[in-house]
Structure 1
């Protein structure tokens, strides 16, 4: 009987060590191995914070049966002694597209598609919550092996396509299993993004703000649908509602998109797990305030090859700073108690993941946090902490066997077990020969470095400082090395070294010289002390530079604060009835203009002698396109549902440039891609602040409309002839149709809201429509229109449409034929925001004249001069001056065109636009007459804080050059150390105009 048992045990052991499945790997008949395997005497990381010395891990049937220091090992267990080895839980990548083929792009006839291509689903093709990754999954053995070698055992795989991408599947990277066993969870999470689907040609959305608006409307629709208000069936909304209980992963890929995604989630009480971009450290306070969990890529930028000084000078400082600081991102997140997991998804090569992980640790990331980010955190975020992420009893037997600390460069990963199935990365029995040696042969001394993988070694041989070409191999315990010695006359003559490796440490063996004679060689391995010294030198990190706000040229280390400032003896341009006051003092206190007069005193105030200088209110630009990540949503002929407020970009260098021109407030307008554009954002140019703090508090509501060539797609090319309208008379019909719809929508909601509770419960609620809500605000005189316009016929047309629906157009912007209809504009009560002297740059402005502003003003219209241009906005003071020449405006009235008049058009004249007691302290100190070409804005102050100082700017300019030079030297040192570098690239900021069409994330 004992003999039979022994034979049976031997048979089971053979099955275990050879393969757990000896039938073909399909869904047919399989073996079932119920043997135990015990891993003894290892240092076991049961979890990142639960560590056992000399522990035992017992597994059976792909699960952990027991783990501890006194585990009872069954008789039928295969025992493996791992003395001196380490065991860790296998890693989890919770953001992956493993095994999912990229959707094919549809064939295109180059004409835009405006309607959805599917029936029974949501009206937008880019919303696909009904998609399930499991239905498209095919195990990719090659990619699986790459991930296994990097330490991963489980991936959360999804269809990486679309704005709502559907559900992901949790996959075990088990090479020896069927798909049914590999798939731990069929629907593990729902994945969303701001990125359109490649599988659809549907035009909408064409912008980031359009994607946000689409998601917002989708959530309203889903709630409305769930409450039983819809008449038909929508498979997309059903799936979206069914997936609500799953973890929601949002692919943001950038610090500001992280924040945008979180705001959207907060709006609908959703806690997104946000897939970040690796630059979160640049806005860590705002990232912390999201209270979100993150999935963080480890894909750090390489140093630039800056050996060409001309090209090096072209690299933006922000790109250099990102290289310098990006490896600190995980540490900064950890220091701010932000929950995060790591992903290898952004790495071009999976093998880069470990090196970047080690770099993050070298830059200060705690090893325990690193291990959590790869194991327990992703498991918890996926609601699977009871199955994966640690080696507790009952969990999947997913673990790594290593030679030592997994976060050390020299550590070898031997095996990656997934669901109890072994994958060999490196032979656990091989003697590791990697290291640094002093090689001696025939009286010559060399330095020899052996690195690479234990069984795929690489050699670096030097004699002194001279590198000698060499090639090493290590097979079946035999180490061989070939090299062509210095001074050899024949390049085909090699010295060949070989030895049979028996133990770790020093090496010695036989050499065959170039003449065929034999010799003896020795290689003495460096001591641990020597290695530590060399390691310290090799791992010496570049100096870390401080983060600025924004993190680029002219960014500030600390934000300016409100000051008490007393300007003495200034020439004060009040932009009020008081006119221009000579030799006058102005006291600024608590962010407001406190006093105006002569011989003022202010306790504790910073006194500025403004003798011979001019003090004005800050310039206001009624029509700007700076400081936004998108300008046009062109996917529909009406995009009232989108708002620029969703895409304010506080990093735009034009904010600082505008401050240098005395601009303090701007309205960022939607572009002119459609008759009914998007909602505006009114911001103060507080350089260094985040997007929320740029937005003006208690701001009035505005929206952009447009007329003319752009909206009827005159210059969009021959393929863009599908979208209505294509004519100017069609533009009128768009306005009439949409306002009629908005009127009926508003009446429907008012009737529903005013009905009794019993009647409400029996009737279906109207669908909440963000677009119609916005247009209803116009009808209810709660939102103002700023309309892009040129030709008098269309100007008249829109005023008539407004009269028909009983509201007023607030502002005609551009309005270059305003001089033709000034009397009618006055009667309607609309203002004009125009250019000073732009004309004839396209057909519909052929009749423009530089006297336009003066003529409208003389008819009693509130007139402003705007920029519509990032470059012109820096010299609006000079643009205003042109009306003195063209139209004979007085200097005081001309100055009002860029101060109090745009404030009136924006309904902000009670707060800004003039120097008056009680108003916001938004002022500019000029070195000269403010409309002079010689005038310099010496200080630009917003709410009592100095956001621009001319003298400081000159000092910062020098600091920028010094910082760039310092970074260039760091990069040169990195290249000299042999670190891989990338070719320089010139990053130019996109400057947006009315007609800019770009999908920018």
Structure 2
């Protein structure tokens, strides 16, 4: 009430002010007055929008208004926040918070082909699309603190298990019931490549996971288009109910949240989703700085974890030799990743996922010192995160109608400010006391005739307040004991002032006064003395801007190359216009070997070959006197540059998986292959099953993306296999698990699969032949990428390259192919091919073999080193392949062995690694010989290429120089120098710079033809 223009505050109102949670240490309670005005604050309305000395008006759990003038409703409870800043509440779009659910563990015995079908679920145990996680929300007050202590007020959550993970939920972190905290019951669908806890065998490989995603998209589309069709009992069965497929309807209208674990997976997830026109937000890996142009072109938003890696162990010579240059580079560059993503214009939000929560703000501030703007950082915590969580219409800003979710800080949160209070749905979660904070600082005290300096500061983490202080008299520093800051802002402590002439332990109690500080001191004789003081400077605490300089942005020691590993290129090579003069040309065509000849290339093609050619204008000249030029070597059988396993060995038929989905452009084997003269290679699925996956022919374009490595003009192909591997002869008892187990079973499986593919094709044709009126009441055939690929074989639209050894199985498959009227393109390995060479030639099949491998398992005992010669003499198109990382860069020497074993000519020997494999892969119109018009895939050797002393000096792919031996020599020295500088940086860094998460090694294991990666954590690697 007003008396004589003075405000009289009743005892009841005083009581409400003192008991309000922002002033009290008690557990959070709702405000007594539901209309609350936070006055005199710095309001960060949204990124880039700031209001000074404004008022945030909150009513119940919503923001009612933002007031710039002094027009505060009389009924509002006022809280003076002078000197404090209010930010919108932060949002984490990728969590598993508050989900109370565990998938049952069935403990099934291997093999597991089928799962328990419950309530219309999917056939595969990694598909949980039917789950809607709001049904399982149970707020966890203690776990919520992991986010609240860092200023987060809401999250998006899902059970992070499986490939299709169900629909997430956006919810408040407030300490309320599940019904009250759910913001958006159905936010976004969650996905990943990781099958999680599924006990089903399939999929066990990365390419298997991708194939399952692709098939599930197709199944869901088919299901939702056909589920409402009336049943025609004479032609169509009743479509089975499938809630997982039903929940995947209209997926293109939602933003899939896709978890990935590394940069390659991030890019392949983006490409896969782009293939299906699916919007998405992708959980990043922290390595995005290395491939920003690719990411930007794919146009997806990212969710960035601040998962900076621990400093690699380089303390000893033995330890640092085990660390790759890529790992050293990533340790240094990880903190630059958010700024790099922001500067590239890629939208992103932050998440705490994958790190210790107390590392979040130190990591984010480190990112800011490395160039990330505060506005971009705030957007990543608020507006951008709200978009991803599906709550942008009521969270992420300070605006009327938005949820009363906000953060009160002292100082700039992105520098050294600290969070004092977090408000969730209008309810306070106090981390630090504002009233106590007002006492912190530096004071000059007057005690009788004595002058003392007092310093009070706060230390400790959010939610755990610790106060420290000292008195100074002249140059003497006096520590304080029993220091306590009371809820009402009073400070008490004890001090030994003997150095200042006052004997015994003195006790102080002080409180704020109008112009400083005042109180009393009680000395050892219990005499009370008045104390007064003035503020001399703000303390350098987290509540005020620090007087210490922020960590300066450090210069980076590491290079950024393409790919970002040792020997990566600093710049993409250009297409050259080049005149190579005076070389010996191994043409691999009818011209044979040309001495002292020239070659012109431009626009990625060979223009002309001949002697004493004129150099056109604008062409560089390379004098190759005494050197040899060949077409690039073509390897018919390789397993380099693959992520996530070469085999999907869980089923006998996995024709749906694609090696093209899992190309690893960072594999140094690509660079080493170039150094051995190899410019193209067919990457094959392994030999774990009779019908494996689809192959991918690549060009060795070192530094290019996975998509750019693909040989665009190559025909489709697939890997089949015969023999011991597919019938599991050498897998060990625990791996012997599926049909077929015998060679005759292998034949039966082929027949069964071919018949199924023919029936599938007939069903599609019959449906396509129906009139539109009939289609409306007839179920369409369910799509099958597996049978589609096999049907392409039978229609001779997909070439078969088949792993084989013994003559009986080679003959069996020849007869089988002829019975089903398709041609086998190539028998690979084919070490008993010499026994059936005439049959191979009559069929028109090629043979790609080893030069002299034998006796490494039973079915290879009859192998002989004359195999290649004998097959070739019988008219079989024969090539030499590697099937091995190391052998691939020595294929020139492997080709030469047939000259030693059986007197093969130079030309024929060299053709076995150039034009013959090109013909087997049906790309001979593009590569394989030095023929004008073909792609300029060219290799320059310092000696005759069949010599063991020959070295590649240059290698071009499509006219671009991807390998240069002189540059390689410089690169080797650069790698040594860069490694040494990074190791020194690690050794000289403090513990904070070295701290981080243990991360998965960046290097992919070396996969082989029969490397069998089991999803349940087992590995098997037998003989080839």
Q: Which residue of 2 aligns with 1:489?
A: none
Equivalent position SS for 1:821? helix
Residues 950 and 507 from structure 1, CA distance in 2 versus in 1: closer, same or farther, beyond 3 angstroms? farther
- The answer for the alignment partner of 1:38 in structure 2 is 37
Between 1:306-315 and 1:533-542, the stretch displaced more is: 533-542
Separation in structure 1 between the aligned mates of residue 910 and residue 954 of structure 2, nearest angstrom = 18
Match of 1:887 in 2: 902
- 2:946 and 2:651 map into 1 onto residues whose CA distance is 42
Question: By how many angstroms is 1:132 displaced?
Answer: 2.0
Q: Please show how residues 427-466 of structure 1 align to structure 2 within 5 Å.
A: 427-431=433-437, 451-453=459-461, 456-457=465-466
Task: Determine if contact 1:43/1:54 at 8 Å carries over to the other structure.
Answer: yes
Partner of residue 345, structure 1: 353
- TM-aligned CA distance change 1:534 to 1:52, over 3 Å: closer
Question: Quick one: distance in 2 between partners of 1:481 and 1:126?
Answer: 64
Distance 1:732 1:388, change over 3 A: same
Query: Equivalences for 1:397-476 in 2 at 5 Å?
Result: 397-409=404-416, 411-431=417-437, 451-453=459-461, 456-457=465-466, 475-476=485-486
| Residue in 1 that maps onto 2:153 | 153
Quick check: 1:729 aligned with 2:729? no
- Which stretch has the larger CA shift, 978-987 or 109-118? 978-987
Q: How many residues are aligned here?
A: 964
> How far apart are residue 129 of structure 1 and its match?
0.8
Deviation at 1:923, TM superposition (A): 1.0
Distance in 2 (CA, whole Å) between partners of 1:509 and 1:932 is 96
Please say if residues 742 and 772 of structure 1, whose CA atoms lie closer than 8 Å, have aligned partners that are also in contact.
yes
Matched, 1:236 2:251: no
Aligned counterpart, 1:517: none
What is the CA distance between 1:74 and its match in structure 2? 2.7
Question: Which residue matches 1:930?
Answer: 945
Structure-2 residue corresponding to 1:972: 987
1:683 to partner: Cα distance = 0.6
Aligned to 2:730, the other structure's residue is in SS state coil
CA distance in 2, matches of 1:498, 1:102: 56
Question: Which of 622, 627, 631 in structure 2 is aligned with 1:617?
Answer: 631
Mapped pair 1:843 → 2:843 = no
Alignment of 1:602-751 (within 5 A): 602=615, 603-629=617-643, 630-751=645-766
Structure 1's 536 and 810: CA in aligned 2 closer, same or farther, altered over 3 A?
same
1:848 alignment partner, SS class: coil
Contact persistence 1:316–1:986 (CA under 8 A): no
Cα shift at 1:79? 0.6
| 1:770-829 residue CA offsets vs partner (Å, 9 max, x unmatched) | 111111111111110000111111111111111111001110111111111111111111
- Alpha-carbon distance in structure 2 between the residues aligned to 1:509 and 1:980: 46
- Aligned with residue 299 of structure 1, among 290, 297, 307: 307
Distance of aligned partners of 1:497 and 1:538 in 2 relative to their CA distance in 1, 3 Å threshold: farther
Q: How far 1:114 sits from its partner (Å)?
A: 1.4
SS at match of 2:776: helix
Give the whole-Å Cα distance in 1 for the aligned partners of 2:264 and 2:147. Answer: 30
Give distance in 1, aligned partners of 2:587 and 2:552.
Answer: 61
Q: 1:322 aligns with which of 286, 310, 330?
A: 330
Residue 479 (structure 1) shift: 8.0
Matched, 1:252 2:252: no
- What is aligned with 2:604? 591
Within 2, Cα distance between the matches of 1:447 and 1:313?
50
CA 1:770–1:412: 2 relative to 1, 3 Å: same
Describe the SS at the equivalent of 1:351: helix
Tell me by how many angstroms 1:628 deviates. 1.1
Match for residue 341 of structure 2 among 333, 347, 363: 333
CA distance in 1, matches of 2:831, 2:764: 39
Residue in structure 2 matched with residue 94 of structure 1 by the alignment: 93
Find the counterpart in structure 1 of residue 51 from structure 2. 52
Distance 1:618 1:505 in 2: 83
Match of 2:392 among 385, 391, 398: 385
Measure the CA separation in 2 of the matches of 1:709 and 1:331: 53
2:132 matches 1:132? yes
The alpha-carbon deviation at position 258 of structure 1 amounts to 2.0
Cα deviations by residue, 1:439-496 (Å, 9 ceiling, x for unpaired): xxxxxx99999743486448899xxxxxx9999976546587999xxxxxxxxxxx99
**Pairwise mapping of residues 871-886 of structure 1 onto structure 2 (< 5 A)?**
871-886=886-901
| 1:113 alignment partner in structure 2 | 112
How far apart, CA to CA, are the structure 2 residues paired with 1:262 and 1:718? 40
- Kept in 2: contact 1:279–1:326 (CA 8 A): yes
- 8 Å CA contact 2:601, 2:608 repeated in 1: yes
- Where does residue 859 of structure 1 map in the other structure? 874
Deviations 1:94-146 (A, max 9, x none): 11001225735725355231123225322211111111222222222111112
Tell me the residue number matched to 2:373.
Answer: 366
Of stretches 678-687 and 565-574 in structure 1, the one that deviates more from structure 2 is 565-574
Change (3 A) 1:320 1:496: farther
State the SS of the aligned residue for 1:429. Answer: helix
Partner of 2:566: 553
Decide whether aligned partners of structure 1 residues 366 and 253 sit closer, same or farther in structure 2, where only a CA change above 3 A counts: same
> Hey, what's the Cα distance between the residues in 2 that align with 1:63 and 1:820?
84
Give how far 1:761 is off. Answer: 3.4
Deviation at residue 866 of structure 1 after TM alignment: 0.5
CA contact (8 A) 1:102 1:160 kept: no
- Cross-structure match for 2:473: none
Retained in 2: the 8 A contact 1:542–1:970? Answer: no
CA distance in 2: counterparts of 1:770 and 1:512, whole angstroms: 89
Distance 2:628 2:593 in 1: 10
Whether the 8 Å CA contact 1:507–1:523 is kept in 2: the answer is no
TM-score normalized with structure 2 length: 0.87
Over the aligned positions, Cα root-mean-square deviation in angstroms equals 3.9
**CA distance in 1 between partners of 2:31 and 2:993 (Å):** 51
Q: Secondary structure at the match of 1:227?
A: helix
Cα deviation 1:696-741 (Å, max 9, x = unaligned): 1222110000111111122222233431111111111111011111
Q: Structure 1 residues 312, 415: CA separation in 2 closer, same or farther (over 3 Å shift)?
A: same
Match of 1:221 in 2: 219
Deviates more, 1:754-763 or 1:939-948: 754-763
Q: State the Cα distance separating 1:982 from its structure 2 match.
A: 8.1
Q: Are the equivalent residues in 2 in contact too, given 1:566–1:587 (CA < 8 A)? A: yes
The answer to whether the 8 Å contact 1:304/1:982 transfers is no
Confirm or deny: 8 A CA contact 1:451 1:458 kept in the other structure. yes
Following superposition, the deviation at residue 887 of structure 1 comes to 1.9
Single out whichever of 977-986 and 105-114 deviates more from structure 2: 977-986
Residue 212 (structure 1) aligns with: 210
Unpaired segments of 5 or more residues in structure 2? 228-237, 445-452, 471-477, 497-503, 525-530, 1018-1024
Match of 1:289 in 2: 297
Partners of 1:927 and 1:472 in 2: how far apart? 82
- 1:492 maps to none
Once residues 1000 and 760 of structure 2 are traced to their aligned partners in structure 1, the CA distance between those partners, rounded to angstroms, is 51
Name the CA distance, whole Å, in 1 between partners of 2:203 and 2:551: 49
What SS class does the counterpart of residue 331 from structure 1 fall into? helix
Contact 2:457 2:469 in 1 (8 A): yes
Q: In the alignment, what sits opposite 2:818?
A: 803
Report deviation, 1:997. 2.5
Deviations 1:345-364 (A, max 9, x none): 111x1111111111111111
Structure 1 Cα separation of the partners of residues 442 and 561 of structure 2: 41
How far is 1:542 from its partner?
A: 4.7
Give, in whole Å, the separation in 2 of the partners of 1:308 and 1:950.
Answer: 31
**CA-CA distance at 1:910 after TM superposition:** 1.0
Q: Is the 8 A contact 2:701 2:709 kept in 1?
A: yes
The one-character-per-residue Cα deviations of 1:856-910 (angstroms, maximum 9, x if unpaired) are 1111101111011111101001111111112221111111111001000000111
CA distance in 1 between partners of 2:727 and 2:358 (Å) = 51
- Cα contact 1:124–1:202 (8 A) shared by 2: yes
Counterpart in 2 of 1:17?
20
TM-score by length of 1: 0.89
**In structure 1, what is the equivalent of residue 144 of structure 2?**
144
What's the CA shift for 1:308? 2.3
Which residue is 2:1022 aligned to? none
